[in-house]
Chain A
Amino acid sequence: MSTPDAPRVAPEVGGGPPPLEVVLGPADVERWAEATGDETGFHLDRDAAARQGFEGLVVHGTHVAALLAGMLLSWLGPGAAMASLSCRYRAPALAGDRLECSAVVTSVDGAPGGRLVEFDLSVTGPGGAVVTTGTARARLAP
């Protein structure tokens, strides 16, 4: 992943950031729960997760969504800002799963105040199962 000091990219339709592979372990899930206040049982307690039919601790959907936003901003470089982000959580991601976050540019528009870049987003888990899909718009620095 690029750093905040990385040079700006020139987004083109069909392009996008390199996929981000991430494994969120129980400690990562717990840290997110503490930071956001979402301490629902199936995120933190294996028994509670099992009672609801999950085979492990469930990663917060909002955690994955925030990672997607970070991935886009890091790729777009300094001065870029999110305009919108919409995610649907289609299946649970479990703590310890290897997740692959992907984004593909679907349009680049020369809007006033900075070019607007639109993305299709997806996050897949083990076996390529889709856990999250979404769309995003980000504005490049003028």
Chain B
Amino acid sequence: MSPLPRDRVEQMLSLLQEDVGRGTGRHPVTFTTGDAARLAEALGPGSGAGPGTMPPTAFCPDPLVVADRLGLPRHRPLPHLLDGGTTWEWLAPIPLEEEVGLEASIVGVEAKRGAAHGVMFLTTVEVTCTDASGGVLARSRGVSVSYRGGRA
């Protein structure tokens, strides 16, 4: 497969970067004890969840999936997608059985050239969890990697 020309990469990058700052707005969500239990069960005995609490990442187990569910389209400029990494930050306890808010936005797009896949576009998505007054309880960021093909 021939490499993407540099000017084509820059053109694609420029278009993708127009989405930086695009967001979903706040969606009300209530994490139930059932949700917490399901994730803890999927994780197994080392979930880090105690009675009545949820595993730490349960507010946003995968920011790329949560952002998609909140209505933020996932960038796919090239045929394949991978999850490049995830960050979580917890600022305050996230309550169970109380309404909180989740919103997602695109916070960055960059292009990189890798040895295995050639050009890759990396889109960083942030999901923020807020309380009823808008105070930030937690955040998560995910990096979606779009590439042309081959083994990762």
Contact surface of A with B, Cβ cutoff 8 Å? 1, 4, 20, 22, 28, 31-32, 34-38, 40, 52-54, 60-63, 65-67, 69-74, 78, 81-89, 91-92
Contacts and interface: CB of A to CB of B under 8 A. Distances in A.
Interface string B92-123: 01000000000000000000000000000000
A69 B50 contact: no
B69 A85 contact: no
Given A38-B62, A88-B84, A70 B90 contact: no
Contact of B151 (A31, A34, A53, A89): A53
A35 B57 CA distance: 12
Interface of B: 38-39, 41-50, 55-57, 61-62, 64-65, 69, 80-90, 93, 149-152
Given A31-B41, A34-B42, A35-B38, A70 B55 contact: yes
B41 A85 contact: no
Nearest to A76: B48
- Secondary structure dominating the interface of A: mixed
A61 B43 contact: no
B85 to A, nearest CB: 4
B134 to A, nearest CB: 21
A84 B31 CA distance: 20
Contacts of A62: 57, 61-62, 83, 86
A73 B48 contact: yes
Report, nearest first, the 9 A-B pairs whose CB atoms are least far apart.
A53-B151, A70-B48, A73-B48, A35-B42, A70-B46, A88-B85, A36-B61, A86-B87, A82-B56
A89 B42 contact: no
Nearest to B145: A89
Contact of A73 (B38, B56, B81, B83): B56
